[in-house]
Amino acid sequence: MIRMRTVTKRYQRGGQVLTVLDQLDLDVPQGDFVALMGPSGSGKSTILNLVGGLDLPDAGRIDVAGADITAMSEAQLPAWRARHVGFVFQAFNLVPVLTALENVLLPLQLQPLSRAQRRQQAEFALEIVGLKDRMDHRPKQLSGGQEQRVAIARAIATDPDLVLADEPTGDLDRESANAVMGLLRRLNAELKKTLVVVTHDAVAAEHARRVLHLDKGVLAREELNPSPGQAAPAAGRAAR
């Protein structure tokens, strides 16, 4: 699903050039569930931005879902992202004046679907995360865990190949965080989604199959989780 080869990314800060990724090689097979960990500035979120086509490397090649995205133009990338990638963010990024259903419908506006088909897919995504009975609620009427589950529903509504999550449990209490990670694990196990999650939370990382530790822009070590996470509740009984 993801193949990064000798990828380098630098940023200009003041008068200094900061190398965030230094000739990084990374492979994520289809159907994998990877957690990226490391100190701030180690390149975790930069990897998500590059793999999701939100940014471009200074050197190297990145293939995602069979396409060399480093060779795509700025005009080609939005349509590619809409088809292949779903994003989940720490701050949820829900539109406060829209209902849960309307928030999930947003990425579907780019799809060649009828209005009825869009609604059907959005409702199905909310059902997967256990919130179909809350689809008419606005974000302020939901708990933090529920808001994140709406964000996950929005990420999977287009049936993407790849889900990228940047600190998805950072603003949640432990119970809600465990439930959200359990939900992501079920998306991987049951819907066969490939997941890459950035986290500082070692407990959350235990839900992944592999934990990759980054340090100063390179992969420092890899850990395998033979039995990721604990038994998770059914989707309809996830985080409250």
The pair of structure tokens assigned to 139 is 């974000």
In the prediction, which pLDDT does 237 show?
38
Task: Judge contact between 170 and 200, C-beta under 8 A.
Answer: yes
232 confidence band (pLDDT: 50, 70, 90)? very low
Q: Quickly state the pLDDT bin for 230 (edges 50, 70, 90).
A: low
Query: For residue 115, what are the contacts with CB-CB under 8 A and spacing of at least 6?
Result: none
Region 112-123 average pLDDT: 93
* Ranges 38-52, 97-111, 225-239: which has the least confidence: 225-239
Give the model confidence (pLDDT) of 155-165 as tens digits.
999 999 999 99
| 46 band by pLDDT with thresholds 50, 70 and 90 | very high
Mean pLDDT score across all residues of the chain: 91
pLDDT tens digits for 189-205?
A: 999 999 999 999 999 99
pLDDT of res. 226:
79
One-letter identity of residue 158: T
Task: Identify the structural domains of the chain with CATH numbers, from first to last.
Answer: 30-50+72-211+219-237 (3.40.50.300)
pLDDT in tens, 132-171: 999 999 999 999 999 999 999 999 999 999 999 999 998 8
With beta carbons less than 8 A apart as the criterion, state whether 26 and 2 touch. yes
Looking at the predicted structure, is the pLDDT value of residue 62 above 90? yes
Instruction: Tell me the mean pLDDT in the region 44-63.
Output: 95
Give alpha helix (H) positions in the chain.
44-51, 77-84, 100-105, 115-128, 144-156, 174-190, 202-205
H helical segments located in 23-163: 44-51, 77-84, 100-105, 115-128, 144-156
Percent of the chain whose predicted confidence (pLDDT) is above 70: 95
Q: What is the pLDDT of residue 63?
A: 97
Evaluate if residue 233 carries a pLDDT over 70: no
